[in-house]
Structure 1
Amino acid sequence: MSKTMAIRIYENGGPEVMRYEEVAVGDPGPGEIRVKHTAIGVNYIDTYFRSGLYPAPSIPFTPGNEGAGVVTAVGEGVTRFKEGDRVAYAATLGSYADERLLEADKVVATPAGVDDETAAAMMLKGMTAQYLLRRTYRVKKGDTILFHAAAGGVGLIACQWARHLGATVIGTVGSREKGELAMQNGCDHVIYYRDEDFAKRVDEITRGERCHVVYDGVGKATFPASLDCLRPFGMFASFGNASGAIEAFNLGLLAQKGSLYATRPTLFTHIAKRADLEEVAGELFDVVASGAVKIPVHHRAKLADAVDVHKALEGRETTGATVMSP
């Protein structure tokens, strides 16, 4: 049993409940590997587990779902990886640590053309973009899409990818700085949601045609106006709750606004099977390696400073990806 540093949460609450302390990490069991992190991804979903919006399997726990590093030990029956292999993942809780144990089936090999920081920054956000654009609603050339929080971590990746697929991309942002960033990363049009009625602007931009799909990771603040951005038979894909959960969704709205479709997908359902994980991650690695999608890392911090990282994240002070190092 060796020791490592990790963030531990003993009660749900604000960023201040996170403690940086020494913990024990054991040898990998059957089907497991031990990974020493070189980079740790930060995602808004981390705040949901910390606050209790998403319940952790047990308390205390170590937050974080994404990381990259090097295999330091393999358990019985593991043939896919060996010590020294570079790997990345978006898997179970526990990435806010120097070193951790993981199920080998939840991890993928990091390709030679992708560095560890990029891998840690893109696994959860990039695979989220993949399942949204390629599985939830399969974006094709000529489609018009609306992506809320276009300058966020998922947004910057998804908007580049959607443009690469031939879509017209409309993004909502909260500031001029974020608008410029969104335009540099795939958006054809940006809407400043603090100053403009985004549903009205979508109608103007599309000349009344509206969108084939709305991708909404914001939640309460953008509902139900997001539905007004859709053409008949359009898809409302709600994949996050950055402003709070959507409450009392009246399904009758879907009929009233044009026989719409609505879904609440999650990444972990899409990558639950090994074959699906390899397909989703493989397509992400390919589009990044080709240069069609770039992974912007705008913020770097030490794991010990996770409290400040969460404060910045929840204060909407960040754009693109944040990566912590042990």
Structure 2
Amino acid sequence: MKSRVVQITHNGGPEVLQLVEQEVPAPGAGEVLLRHHAVGLNFIDVYQRSGLYQLPLPLNLGMEAAGVVEAVGQDVKHLKVGDRVAYASHPPGSYSERRVMPATHVCHLPDAISFETGAAMMLKGMTAQYLLKKCRPVEGIQPGDFVLFHAAAGGVGLIACQWARALGLQLIATAGSDEKCALALANGAVHAINYRSENFAERVMEITEGQGVKVVYDSVGKDTWEGSLACLRRFGLMVSFGNASGPVAPFAPAVLAAKSLYVTRQTLFAHMHSREATQAIADDLFHVVSSGLVNIHIDQRYPLADVQQAHRDLEARKTTGSSILTL
């Protein structure tokens, strides 16, 4: 059995993405064979393609998808042939029609959630879940508290805006255009700041009457680092979970001293340390989506063959919400 797969043989720009045919093996012990119906696009794919995150080459790209189980290897107990599933997981390889992968992080997809929604939400929605539920400041966080979320009109951001509203948090959004700010506000942000036309740190201090926010959730990286620290309140938590503008430069811990700040660098996969932990995060996500508290915005769809253009749009920040590859 063969499958079309997006592969790179060396790191570089979108032009290194090549659509090739590969033989798909039978699943081994602990593995499943999946037929994808839709595939998710994420900024981590760009990092892996460019070499910011170094992985062995040649490399099949993609970290999330939704589809159907076609075969099950030995020792897989929680899945069977015909199950609807979705996942966000290592190893990469979701940019494909079919793949064999470890079953540990593959989750049942509820019937009420479409394959496209499943593919668009797993990595982004599970990221929003651990950020809002597990990355908490030392003094805790309660309804009414202010938090700052950068790139709030993106896939993770729009989910976080809605989820924060459901939790009673006052989420201040940043985005790169007035249109994106309006989108964040429409999805639950209480304030939105266009960082291209305003100093977001100064504006945050105005909104919070000089107090600052308890938490900053930052996937942008070097361009927002200093401003993010500046708008935290005493004992505030800086949560770094991405590098869209490039990695943060080394810094002296003394810069945290004036307000006794906390800094953490998070990844989703550290929270997915077991099948049970993965399923618990996914179940929380499935609940808020199925209940209507969170709507998954799929604003861009690209055929698998147009993956180069998809990456160009992603890097140029031309996208909003979630993007998927269709098969």
Q: Is the pair's TM-score, using the shorter chain for normalization, greater than 0.5?
A: yes
Residues 20-58 of structure 1, C-alpha deviation per residue, up to 9 Å, x if partnerless?
0111110000110000000100000100000000011x2
Tell me how far 1:148 sits from its aligned partner.
0.4
SS for the counterpart of 1:312 is helix
CA deviations over 1:70-89 (Å, ceiling 9, x no partner) = 00111112221111110000
Measure the CA separation in 1 of the matches of 2:204 and 2:104: 42
Deviations 1:69-127 (A, max 9, x none): 00011111222111111000000100001000111111000011111111110000000
> Is contact 1:213–1:234 with CA below 8 Å preserved after alignment?
yes
Alignment partners' CA distance in 1, 2:303 and 2:141: 37
Equivalent runs, 1:75-154 vs 2, <5 Å: 75-92=73-90, 93-137=92-136, 139-154=141-156
Q: How many residues align?
A: 323
- Equivalent positions of 1:303-322 (< 5 A) are 303-322=304-323
Q: Percent identity?
A: 52
Alignment counterpart, residue 183 of structure 1, candidates 182, 185, 192: 185
CA distance in 1, matches of 2:211, 2:141: 17
Structure 1 distance, partners of 2:40, 2:15, is 19
* In 2, Cα distance between equivalents of 1:186 and 1:143: 14
What is the rounded CA distance, in whole Å, between the counterparts of 1:182 and 1:128 in structure 2? 17
Q: Which amino acid aligns with 1:298?
A: D
Tell me the distance in 2 between the aligned counterparts of 1:274 and 1:301: 31
SS at match of 1:48: helix
Q: Distance in 2 between matches of 1:153 and 1:140?
A: 24
- Distance (whole Å) between structure 2 residues aligned to residue 323 and residue 50 of structure 1: 17
- Find the counterpart in structure 2 of residue 7 from structure 1: 6
For 2:102 and 2:132, the matched residues in 1 are separated by 27
Give 1:72's aligned residue.
Answer: 70
| Deviations 1:197-232, CA, capped at 9 Å, x for gaps | 100000111111110100000000001110111100
Aligned partner of 1:168 among 167, 170, 174: 170
C-alpha RMSD of the superposition: 0.9
Q: Which runs of 5+ in 2 are unaligned?
A: none
Aligned match for 1:245, one of 240, 244, 247 = 247
Q: Deviations over 1:131-165 (max 9, x none)?
A: 00000127531210000011011000011101110
| Partner secondary structure for residue 33 of structure 2 | strand
Q: What displacement does 1:285 show?
A: 0.6
Say if 1:156 and 1:185, in contact at 8 Å, map to a contact too: yes
1:38 and 1:117 in contact (8 A); partners too: yes
2:273 pairs with 1:272:
yes
Gaps of 5+ in 1: none
Could you tell me how far 1:325 is from its partner in structure 2? 1.2
**Alignment check: 8 A CA contact 1:202 1:229 kept:** yes
AA in 2 matched with 1:315: A
Which deviates the most, 156-165 or 131-140?
131-140
